[in-house]
Amino acid sequence: MANTSLNILIVDDELSNLLLLKAILSGVGHHAIMAKDGGEAVAAFEREQPDMVLMDVMMPGMDGYEATRQIKARAGERFVPVIFLTALDDERALAKCVECGGDDFLTKPYSRVILQAKIDALARTSKLHSTVKLQRDELVYHQDRILKEQEVARKVFANIMHSSSLSEPCIKYLLSPMALFNGDLLLAARKPSGGMRVMLGDFTGHGLSAAIGAIPVADIFYRMTAKGFSIGEIVIEVNRKLRAILPPGIFCAACLVDADPGEHQLSVWNGGVPDVLVLGDDGNFHQRFISRHLPLGVVGEDKLDTGLEYSEINRGDLIYLYTDGVIEAWNPRGEMFGQARLEQSLLSNGSAASRFDGIRNGLLDFIGDQSHSDDITLIELTCDGLASHHFDVAEQGAVTQPSVSAMEWNVTLEFGPDTLRNFDPLPLLIHMLMEIQGLRGHREHLYTIIAELFSNALDHGLLGLDSVLKATPHGFAEYYQLRARGLAALQQGRIRIDLAHAPYDTGGKLVIRVEDSGPGFDHQKKSFVPDESTIPSGRGIGLVRELCDSIQFSGNGNIAEAVYSWRH
């Protein structure tokens, strides 16, 4: 440090002192700037911007105290050491030197060795101050950049959330992250056949590292739901993606719920989140879906269980999903909110319309002003709202009309036992219709028609299931257990689907023919009338009858042919 040349401002009203100090400084390689009083010192400081100041205390006009105050103010963030030159030994006078910004003292008469030592020490301090300031500025720059990048990322995540159906009246939710980024994921989308599908996810950890998988998961969920893929197929694809992109130790506890008010059916896959609760309009819990599967991203596809659980739902039912951040929330007294408190809140919080607000406010009041220990997500699905948004035949004229000119074409597909066990043909068929003819504005109607005819052929034609089983909650679950066992054991039988399209003046006509190789039934005695007051059997074909120009059964009841017309 002694070899570093400094510009040093010397301030003293005695010329002899100035010359002596200048000689000492010049002798060790420093450049001296002289000033005879405080005012001249301030002017010289602004002009020369010295590295250090040697300041006499007692001077006529502006004394050393005031000059030091002004020099320190003009230095701003730059550290300019001030060494007071004084013969004073009064403690109050020395304390005043420190109060006005002095950094050290040099007692008269001057010692060359001590002066050089003080200059070297303060020069090291000044260099350290400059280094710290530079590092601080770099940290501020990088922090600003990170904050801007996080804000962009936050908006992306917000767009993901708000591009879904979460704003629909049938959904109420609370999202309360503990950090800027939410490790919880909440997605909702309408299905092509009506009804609602919801995915609740809880990634390992918190913040950005926890939320990094949200974008690919949301993309898969929205695309596959729009194309009519089942919950099980979405689970497989999300698990495959997370296994491919996430590092070891990061996974996603998830629950997927498919609420179909038209069929009065609730389907649930729960992999690692707390119990899904169904609260009836009688104020009691009708169903509880516990976690029966591993979280997504943990095991490979060969060990992944995609089995679903089913329940009947009715108007007035409320469905609740939530992450463990809700039941593991703590209050300032060290008490945990807990499962029992949540369920008691659900049972005792007034009418259905106000219940969610009461639960949300109660939870937030319980936590108080303290920071969260985990991300908190709670969602309520109202079955009344789901049913009211199911499409109606009267809406058919309001759908977006296709821009592709009507063409004449026909397609035949046939599915055997192995294909029926492992492949859902509905997304393929709907995608083909959208691409060939451009019937995108009729996606919901066509999905419903083909899904009902195909389900009728598979469930009743090949598997011999009776929808009357769905008359009770127990029978509802039994129906789908029998369906799964029947599919697994299916060794023979086929389903053939013929699609034929013909243009006419203002649009086109699509003939959908579904034939199964089962024993059939007496279709002339079977009545299909959609009635919301009856049990959920036979209602699907009645809805198809309303959507189509006509539907006819032939053969031994194993052939169904529906005609659907569309127009520009």
Q: CATH number for the domain including 399? A: 3.30.565.10
Please identify, among 388, 403, 424, the residue that sits at the C-terminal boundary of a domain: 388
Range 504-520 burial, b when 16+ CB lie within 10 A, else e:
eeebbbbbbbbbbbbeb
Backbone torsions φ then ψ of 531, nearest 5 degrees:
-140, 110
| pLDDT at residue 168 in the model | 86
Residues 310 and 401 in one domain: no
Instruction: Give Rg (Cα) of the chain.
Output: 39
Q: Which residue has the tokens 């089962």?
A: 518
Which pLDDT belongs to residue 204?
85
450 is a domain residue: yes
Q: For residues 380 and 408, state if they share a domain.
A: no
CB neighbours of residue 92 within 10 Å: 7
Residue type, 549: D
Same domain flag for 370 and 405: no
- In angstroms, the Cα distances linking 219 to 152, 171, 207, 530 are 18, 21, 20, 35
CB 375 within 8 A of CB 202: yes
pLDDT of residue 213: 81
DSSP-based three-state secondary structure for 414: strand
pTM score above 0.85: no
Domain match, 67 and 192 both? no
Same domain as 347, residue 264:
yes
Q: What is the DSSP track for 124-160?
A: HHHHHHHHHHHHHHHHHHHHHHHHHHHHHHHHHHHHH
Domain-located, residue 540: yes
Q: Which residue has the tokens 């009083």?
A: 37
Describe the strand order of the beta sheet including 252-260 as a list of residue ranges.
184-190, 196-203, 252-260, 265-271, 309-312
Residues 85 and 233 placed together within one structural domain of the fold: no
The residue from 339, 369, 388 where one domain ends is 388
Task: Establish if 158 belongs to a structural domain.
Answer: no
Strands of 177-247 (E only): list them.
184-190, 196-203
Quote the number of domains for the chain.
3
Q: What is the CATH number of the domain that holds 270?
A: 3.60.40.10
Say what the pLDDT of residue 207 is: 64
**Tens of pLDDT, residue by residue, the chain (568 residues):** 446 789 999 999 999 989 999 999 998 899 999 999 999 999 999 999 999 999 998 898 899 999 999 999 999 889 999 999 887 667 777 788 888 988 988 887 888 888 889 999 999 999 999 899 899 999 999 988 888 877 777 777 666 655 567 888 889 998 887 555 667 888 999 888 778 999 999 988 766 666 678 888 988 999 899 888 889 999 999 999 999 988 888 899 999 999 987 778 899 999 999 999 999 888 889 999 999 999 999 999 999 999 999 988 888 899 999 999 999 999 999 899 999 999 998 888 777 778 898 888 889 899 988 777 778 899 999 987 665 444 433 333 334 444 556 788 888 999 999 989 888 888 888 878 877 776 777 888 888 899 889 988 999 899 988 878 777 767 777 888 898 899 989 999 999 999 999 988 778 899 999 999 988 766 555 544 444 444 444 567 788 888 899 999 998 889 999 999 987 6
Note the pLDDT of residue 164: 64
Confirm whether 2 is domain-assigned.
Answer: no
How far is Cα 479 from Cα 309, in angstroms, rounded to an integer?
11
Residue 303 included in any domain? yes
The DSSP annotation for 484-551 comes to: HHHHHH--S--EEEEEEEEEETTEEEEEEEEEE-S----TTT------TTS-SSSHHHHHHHHHSSEE
**What element of type H or E holds 430?**
helix 426-437
> What single DSSP character describes residue 330?
B
Clarify whether residues 345 and 196 are in a common domain.
yes
Are 201 and 74 within one domain?
no
CA distances from 393 to 330, 513, 541, 542, 551 (A): 50, 21, 14, 12, 15
Are residues 369 and 467 located together in one domain of the fold? no
Q: Phi and psi (nearest 5°) for 472?
A: -125, 155
Report if residue 1 sits inside a domain.
Answer: no
Residue 354 lies in a domain: yes
- Is 490 within 8 Å of 421 (Cβ atoms)? yes
pLDDT at 352: 72
Tell which of 388, 415, 430 closes a domain: 388
| Residue 90 belongs to domain with CATH number | 3.40.50.2300
Query: Domain range spanning residue 384?
Result: 163-388
Whole-number Å distance between alpha carbons of 278 and 285 = 6
Please list the residues that pair with 501 across neighbouring strands.
409, 510
Q: What integer pLDDT is reported at residue 285 of this predicted model? A: 92
Which residues does residue 90 pair with via DSSP β-bridges, in sequence order? none
Q: Which of 53, 133, 132, 30 is nearest to 100 (CA)?
A: 53
- CA distance linking residue 521 with residue 479, whole number of Å: 19
Residues 378 and 398 in one domain: no
Q: Is residue 472 part of a domain?
A: yes
Are 384 and 400 contained in the same domain?
no
Say how far apart CA 230 and CA 487 lie, in whole Å. 16
Q: If residue 21 lies in a helix (H) or strand (E), which one and from where to where?
A: helix 15-27
β-strand partners of 82? 53
**Same domain assignment for residues 48 and 114:** yes
